[in-house]
């Protein structure tokens, strides 16, 4: 599908005053999306596990708009309290989606949102937040186009989420989502995320993700700035080529269940992401001393056992611990005994792979 396929031809239904709600999951990339063209056209394909416990719930109440001007009319509340500092991001989102959702100028929207994870945990809420909002808008559009098919509904929800945040387009379905064109995945696209429909070995079913909270609070360098620094980066083309190759390898691993090979690809992707940041101009560092201590502990733990525990990172200092369900008990013991000391206020979040957004 191309961009213009997302512009509606005709609205036949009515959008009444009502509340539309969705719960959207967070996701963790195994092959990283890092580098983009405007607006969120990825420089390389990525694939992520959809999470389960880490999610955002959003409700959008539609009502008549008081002013007649063509500007957007909305208010936003986080956990019941007004959040005016979210407004610029939402305003940008409205501007970007307007050509594809022409009804957004015609109403007032009261957006209420809440995250299952602490707001200051350093877990990005943009993926789950933007996708929950996009899904609410799709439910509204569905009342205007009552015969819309399910597949299109989710594809457009992902397309709109991407306009808010690239990784948000992977926060729609599960257990794995691909964003960006890749030669081995015929349905893949740079415009929206698609569900991974290949075979998934039993080893990966119920895969666990325990997020160790190392550094909480605002990131020093935002993802948007980080993505921009990939443009003109001396290693950029080699990195993009590597991401394609790593995704090809991972697709084989997902089928054959080779956990040792999984660990190698996933950890290498995490470190390359940060290596690109550290070698950007200007260069910067998001890893903290405790991030490195945790990584070394994981390597030590693996060397002394037959464990397939591995780590991945997003654009921050927190560490995601990925492991098969069969290792749940032993890994949680290891976390409590040896890793929790490196977490801010001993905080960590237990999650596992999930199956996508849910209508509320």
Contact footprint for ligand DP6 (CB under 6 A): 29, 32-34, 36, 40, 46, 124, 126, 165-167, 223-224, 227, 273, 314-315
- In the complex with ligand DP6, the residue whose CB is nearer, 43 or 331, is 43
**β-bridge pairing 208-212 and 176-179:** unpaired
3-state DSSP assignment of residue 61: strand
- Find the shortest distance in angstroms from Cβ 276 to ligand DP6: 10
- Find the shortest distance in angstroms from Cβ 34 to ligand DP6: 6
- In the complex with ligand DP6, the residue whose CB is nearer, 29 or 97, is 29
- Find the shortest distance in angstroms from Cβ 125 to ligand DP6: 10
3-state DSSP assignment of residue 223: helix
DSSP 8-state class, residue 174: -
- Find the shortest distance in angstroms from Cβ 3 to ligand DP6: 17
- In the complex with ligand DP6, the residue whose CB is nearer, 225 or 326, is 225
- In the complex with ligand DP6, the residue whose CB is nearer, 73 or 215, is 215
Instruction: Please tell me the number of Cα atoms within 13 Å of 287 on its side-chain side.
Output: 21
Residues composing the chain:
360
User: Residue 166 and residue 177: Cα distance in Å, rounded?
Assistant: 12
User: Residue 96 and residue 107: Cα distance in Å, rounded?
Assistant: 17
- In the complex with ligand DP6, the residue whose CB is nearer, 140 or 272, is 272
- In the complex with ligand DP6, the residue whose CB is nearer, 86 or 152, is 86
3-state DSSP assignment of residue 318: coil
Helix (H) or strand (E) run with residue 26 in it: strand 18-31
- Find the shortest distance in angstroms from Cβ 121 to ligand DP6: 15
- Find the shortest distance in angstroms from Cβ 159 to ligand DP6: 14
Task: Using CB positions, name the residue nearest to ligand DP6.
Answer: 166
Instruction: Please tell me the number of Cα atoms within 13 Å of 178 on its side-chain side.
Output: 23
């Amino acid at each position: 599908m191309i961009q213009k396929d997302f512009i509606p031809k005709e609205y036949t239904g009515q959008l009444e005053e009502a509340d539309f709600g969705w719960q959207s999951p967070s996701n963790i990339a195994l092959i990283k999306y890092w580098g983009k063209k405007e607006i969120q056209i990825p420089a390389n394909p990525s694939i992520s596990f959809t999470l389960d416990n880490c999610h955002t719930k959003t409700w959008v109440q539609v009502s008549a708009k008081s002013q007649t001007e063509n500007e957007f009319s909305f208010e936003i509340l986080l956990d019941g309290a007004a959040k005016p500092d979210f407004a610029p991001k939402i305003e940008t989102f409205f501007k970007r989606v307007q050509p594809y959702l022409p009804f957004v100028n015609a109403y007032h929207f009261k957006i209420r949102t809440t995250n299952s994870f602490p707001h200051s945990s350093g877990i990005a809420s943009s993926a789950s937040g933007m996708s929950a909002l996009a899904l609410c808008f799709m439910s509204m559009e569905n009342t205007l186009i009552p015969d819309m098919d399910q597949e299109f509904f989710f594809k457009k929800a992902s397309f709109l989420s991407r306009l808010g945040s690239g990784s948000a387009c992977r926060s729609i379905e599960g257990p794995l989502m691909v964003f960006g064109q890749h030669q081995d995945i015929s349905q893949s696209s740079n415009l929206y995320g698609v569900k991974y429909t290949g075979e998934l070995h039993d080893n990966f079913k119920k895969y666990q993700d325990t997020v160790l909270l190392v550094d909480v609070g605002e990131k020093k360098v935002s993802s948007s700035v980080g993505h921009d620094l990939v443009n003109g980066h001396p290693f950029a083309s080699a990195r993009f080529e590597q991401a394609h190759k790593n995704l090809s390898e991972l697709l084989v691993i997902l089928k054959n269940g080779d956990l040792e090979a999984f660990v190698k690809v996933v950890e290498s992707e995490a470190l390359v992401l940060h290596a690109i940041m550290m070698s950007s101009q200007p260069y910067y560092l998001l890893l903290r001393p405790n991030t490195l201590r945790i990584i070394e502990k994981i390597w030590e733990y693996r060397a002394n056992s037959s464990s397939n525990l591995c780590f991945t990172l997003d654009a921050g200092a927190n560490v995601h611990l990925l492991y098969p369900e069969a290792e749940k008990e032993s890994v949680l013991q290891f976390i409590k005994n040896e890793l929790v000391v490196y977490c801010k206020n001993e905080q960590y979040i237990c999650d596992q792979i999930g199956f996508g957004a849910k209508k509320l």
